[in-house]
Amino acid sequence: MSQSDEQSGLGPRRLAWMAVTETLKRRVPLDDVMEELARAENLSARDEALARAIAIVTFRRLGTLGRALRERLNKAPKDERLMHLLATGAAQILYLDVPDHAAVDSAVQLAQNDPKLHHAGGFINAVLRRVAREREAILAEDDPWLDTPTWLEERWIAQYGEPQAQKIVEAHRSLASVDVTVKNDAESWAERLGGVLLPTGSIRLKERTAIRELPGFEEGEWWVQDAAAALPARLLDPKPGERIADLCAAPGGKTAQLAAAGAEVLAVDRSAKRLVRLEENLARLKLKAETRAIDAEKLDAGPFDAILLDAPCSATGTIRRHPDVAWTKGDEDIRKLAGLQSRLLDKAASLLKPGGRLVYCTCSLEAEEGERQAESFLARHPDFTRVPVTAGEIGGFTECITPQGDVRTLPSQMALAGHDRSGLDGFFVARFVHRPS
C-alpha cells in the first residue's frame, strides 16, 4: 500500500470492496478471502480491522443496502463490482462511525483508480451523497427480513414458525458476543475479566477489547469459544485417561476442552494448515493432544472410549459473526453436506468401543444437518441409543433442550438484560451411546 493510500484511507476500503466482490463471486468464506487479500495489501492491524468491519456490516445489511441503492438508481449498473463498491460505501454511511465525506470520497477515488470504473466517479459521488442525505428515511424503513435471503427465510419459517424465525433474523443483525472457556475456576475468572458467568459455564465479556491484552491470555488460562460451541465437549463428559477422538477438530476449542479434562485426545482434521493453528493454540494453553491431518472418513485408529464429531456443515448457525454465510450458501450445499455428515457419523460409530459415547454436533440451524440427521443415524444403527441431555448438565438452560433430549440453540436465546451482546451461535447437539445387543 502506498503512503498516499494510507493517508487517504483507500487501503482498507479497497480491501473491503475486493473481499465482498470475491466472496460473492467465488462463494467462499469471507475470512479466507480477507486473509488471502490482506497479504497483498500490507495493511496495519488497525486498517485491516476497518476493512473487516466494512465487509462484515456490508454482508450483515446486504439486502437493506441493495434496496436503498436500487431505489436511488434510475437503472442498476451491470458491473457487479460497481454495485459492491456502492454497497461498501453505503454501509459506512449508514452503519459505521465513519465521516460521510470519507466514505464518499474514497469510493470515488477507488473507482477512478480502476481501469474499468474510472468513468463512474461522478455517478458514485451522486448516489452516495444521496444516501447520506436520506439516511434517516432509509433507516426508518428498516425490515430485518430484507437481510435474509429468501431460501433461508422459507426454511426457518417452515422449521421454527414465523415468530421464532423473526427473532432469529433480528438476532443476526446484532454484534456477536465474545465468550471464553476457562480451564478452571470460572467464577473467579469472570470477575477478573469483567465478564458475565453464563449458566452453561462460559464467560461472556462485557466489552469488546484486545483479546491478547486481557489477563490470563498469555498464561494460557482460557480461550475464545462461543457459549454454544462449548456445549458438545461438556456433554461428552470426558474423563481423565480416556482415549477420545475429536473429528474435524480445527480450530481446536473442543480439543482444548477435552485435553483440559485429562483425556488422551486425537485431533483429526483434513486441513494441515488448520491443524497448525490448533497446535499453536494448544501450545499457548499448555495442553497436549495428538494431531493427524487426514480425512476423518479414512481414519483407522480405534477403538475409542468417546468421539466428538463436529461435522462440516452449512454454518447457518454462525451468521451473527459470519454474515457472508447467508449469501454464499444454498439448498444444494446443505444436501451435499448432509450426505457427508451421515458418512462421518457411520465412520465414528465404527471407531467406538462397546459402551462408548458419541456426541454429534453442527453449527447449523437446518434440520437436515441436525434433528433429521440424528433420527436417521439411530435408524441405521440399532446398537446405538440416544442419551437425553438434562437441565442440570447445562445450568438449567432448558429452552435449548428439544423434546427428544437433544440440544438446539438459537441466536435469539441466552438474552442478557442490559447486555448489548446477547445471543449465541445456532448449534445442534445429539448424544449417543454404543450398546451392542
What CATH number does residue 292 fall under? 3.40.50.150
**268 and 406 together in one domain:** yes
Does residue 5 carry a pLDDT above 60?
A: no
**127 and 241 together in one domain:** no
State which of 118, 142, 166 marks the end of a domain.
142
Least confident segment among 207-211, 224-228, 240-244: 207-211
CA distance readout (Å), 402 to 276, 366, 396: 36, 14, 13
Question: Look-up: residue for cell 480439543?
Answer: 255
Question: Mind listing the pLDDT tens digit for each residue in 65-118?
Answer: 999 999 999 887 889 999 999 999 999 999 999 999 999 999 999 999 999 999
Helix (H) or strand (E) holding 246: strand 243-247
Boundaries of domain holding 261: 227-434
For the chain, what is the domain count?
Answer: 2
Mean pLDDT across the chain: 94
Within a domain: 304: yes
Query: 379-383: which pairs have CB atoms within 8 A and are 24 or more residues apart?
Result: 380/346, 381/346, 381/349, 382/437, 383/434, 383/435, 383/436, 383/437
Query: Quick one: cell of 90?
Result: 453505503
Residue 2 has phi, psi (to 5 degrees) of -75, 165
Residue whose C-alpha is closest to residue 151's, from 319, 344, 20: 319
Partners of 209 in the beta sheet? none
DSSP states of 373-422: HHHHHHHH-TTEEE----GGGGTT-GGGB-TTS-EEE-TT-S--TT-SS-
**266 and 130 together in one domain:** no
**244 and 387 together in one domain:** yes
**387 and 246 together in one domain:** yes
Within a domain: 188: no
Partners of 13 in the beta sheet? none
Question: Mind listing the pLDDT tens digit for each residue in 239-264?
Answer: 999 999 999 999 999 999 999 999 99
Which whole number is the average pLDDT over 331-345?
Answer: 97
State which of 122, 142, 162 marks the end of a domain.
142
Can you give the pLDDT at residue 436?
A: 81
Within a domain: 169: no
**137 and 232 together in one domain:** no
Grade residue 207 by pLDDT with cuts at 50, 70 and 90. Answer: confident
Which whole number is the average pLDDT over 1-26?
Answer: 82
**286 and 416 together in one domain:** yes
Can you give the pLDDT at residue 206?
A: 86
Residues with Cβ < 8 Å from 162, sequence gap 6 or more? none
Grade residue 418 by pLDDT with cuts at 50, 70 and 90. Answer: low
State which of 142, 171, 196 marks the end of a domain.
142
pLDDT above 70: percentage of residues in the chain: 97
**95 and 237 together in one domain:** no
Can you give the pLDDT at residue 416?
A: 80
More confident residue, 218 or 302: 218
What pTM was estimated for this model as a whole?
Answer: 0.94
CA distance linking residue 295 with residue 301, whole number of Å: 12
Q: Is 363 a catalytic residue?
A: yes
Can you give the pLDDT at residue 42?
A: 84
Within a domain: 32: yes
Which of these is catalytic: 248, 313, 363, 400? Answer: 363
CA distance readout (Å), 12 to 15, 304, 307: 5, 48, 43
Within a domain: 42: yes
Question: Mind listing the pLDDT tens digit for each residue in 259-274?
Answer: 999 999 999 999 999 9
Within a domain: 213: no
Grade residue 234 by pLDDT with cuts at 50, 70 and 90. Answer: very high
Check which CATH number belongs to the domain holding 12 and give it. 1.10.940.10
Q: What is the DSSP-derived secondary structure letter of residue 76? A: -
Does residue 437 carry a pLDDT above 80?
A: no
Can you give the pLDDT at residue 4?
A: 46
Question: Mind listing the pLDDT tens digit for each residue in 360-407?
Answer: 999 999 999 999 999 999 999 999 999 999 999 999 999 999 999 999
Which whole number is the average pLDDT over 272-279?
Answer: 95
Q: Are strands 195-197 and 203-205 parallel, antiparallel or unpaired?
A: antiparallel
